Amino acid sequence: PKAFGVLHCFNADGMLLELSDRFYYGIGGVSTFKNAKRLVEILPKIPKSRLLLETDSPYLTPHPFRGTRNSPTYIPLIAQKIA
């Protein structure tokens, strides 16, 4: 089905999984945070064809670089975390 939009900086709201065939899910640096266990648990329930990797630059820099300016160069860290 055609997507209606992107859920930017998806934060593991389980209710939004019902929309998995209608939206893309933006996954960023938050997925690497120690307190992102719920997000990491929910990711396998989202079709891979609906996942988008994003940076939310200059904010939400992935672990272990939190506190520095975020950039697209950190996308591989996000991909590795959710793989």
Write out pLDDT tens, residues 37-82: 999 999 998 889 999 999 999 999 999 999 999 999 999 999 999 9
Residue 32 has pLDDT above 70, yes or no: yes
Strand ranges, E, within the chain = 5-7, 23-27, 51-53
Instruction: Provide the domain limits for residue 76.
Output: 5-82
CA dihedral 27, 57, 66, 49 (to 10 degrees): 10
Read off the pTM: 0.86
Q: How many domains in the chain? A: 1
Residue 22 has pLDDT above 90, yes or no: no
